[in-house]
Chains A and B, each alone.
Chain A
């Protein structure tokens, strides 16, 4: 399976996150270290966003624990190719558990954006969508065009899953928009937004 080379072509990352969250409704969002956290923050901070500032490779499993705990809410994880590659086993774990309310979207620019834009394994042809498909995700989307991304954004809110989307992203650096980085604050306000904690 040929995939669109992320470096040569791909969607603008800020347009892509805006398309995913344009009609957010009650979606819960987990973002990975690091550019996808800045992407989410570029749309405005939100208590229902949990941004990872470290623990590289953990975004998908945080999403899994959250999805299992909140089966009536839709949960979206948006992370980068480098962050996903560091925790590939999580795709097998998620596929084995089959949480119907979880979606993973990987913004794939084939680069480690935070460390100097070094090439990642996807630049060498490793196909994340193929890996998700082989793990057994219910639906897998390999997205290189705005129309397909909008279709996935609509699909996010319908029942059924888990979903996986690999989104080809242009390898340009967007202006940094930094969300809060106090982890305890991010945790507490997220739980308050869900009504788990008061105060």
Chain B
């Protein structure tokens, strides 16, 4: 598969932003989606698991996804990883593989430990996820508002797969909504 990713299209307002991210994943012909569940990714995981053209791969730890995405590219497929910000820390040494071989990589990171976080244990990695990724030369984009989420993902897909680069989109906790602790 050597065709380039199409230019990002303006995001379509109206639909749910999670479904609009999924539409961009489909448009980029993503065939493998590795994930460690996060509440912020729940809808996207459902959509990927239900799609017959996508292999949704549950991972025991996020670092497995770095190898998975590299293997997919070796075999001519594109992969995307879904994880929580805490999982970024698990990936750091594995990003050596991405960087040393110039594998394309797209990580969609549901942020915790920021906007209205209840659990202070989420804060250390949540507040350092962006810096940790940038230390490993991953391009980092943030989406704060529903209307910018899908086109930010589209831009990350384009730069990563067209140029064999690593990119992450941080989906902010304000966008996702803080986890509800009472039920």
Contacts and interface: CB of A to CB of B under 8 A. Distances in A.
Interface string A37-81: 000000000000010111111111111111111100000000000
Contacts, number: 125
Interface stretch (A7-15, A158-166, A170-178, A182-190): A182-190
B74 A68 contact: no
Contacts of B79: 65
Place the interface of chain A in its size category.
Answer: 35 or more
B71 A63 contact: yes
A55 B66 CA distance: 9
A118 interface: no
Contact of A55 (B58, B72, B76, B94): B94
A97 B63 contact: no
The winner among A53, A60, A61, A66 for most chain B CB atoms within 10 A is: A61
Interface in B56-71: 57-61, 63-71
A54 B102 CA distance: 14
A53 B97 CA distance: 9
A64 B55 CA distance: 11
A57 B59 CA distance: 14
B12 interface: no
A68 B72 contact: yes
Contacts of A92: 60
A196 B1 contact: yes
B102 A61 contact: no
A166 to B, nearest CB: 20
A28 B76 CA distance: 13
A62 B94 CA distance: 11
A30 B31 CA distance: 21
A197 B70 contact: no
B64 A61 contact: yes
B101 interface: yes
A125 interface: no
A90 B76 CA distance: 21
Nearest to B103: A187
B67 A58 contact: yes
A130 interface: no
Interface in B39-87: 55, 57-61, 63-77, 79
